[in-house]
Amino acid sequence: MQVMLAKPSKLSSDEYTLSDSQHNELDPGLLRKLIRQADLTVEAFNSL
């Protein structure tokens, strides 16, 4: 199953879109990369 997430960009009027396969686990490096791309810190992500 494919998951599509979208977030407005802070730098332009564009929207940032992320596509990822839905798995039971993500590699920690991939998860950190996705968190960075969403302009979040690990702490902010964990508080969601």
Give CA–CA dist 48/35, Å, rounded.
Answer: 12
Q: Which domain does 16 fall in, by range?
A: 2-47
CB-CB contact of 15 with 6 (8 Å) = yes
What stretches of the chain adopt beta strand conformation (E)?
2-8, 15-21
For the record, the structure tokens of 11 come out as 């730098």
What confidence score (pLDDT) does residue 21 get? 67
What's the token pair of residue 17?
A: 């879109």
pLDDT at 32 over 70: yes
Residue 40 near residue 24 (C-beta atoms within 8 A): no
* Total count of domains within the chain: 1
pLDDT tens-digit readout, 10-23:
666 676 676 666 66
Provide the CB-side half-sphere exposure for 23 (13 A, CA): 8
Does the predicted model carry a pTM greater than 0.95? Answer: no
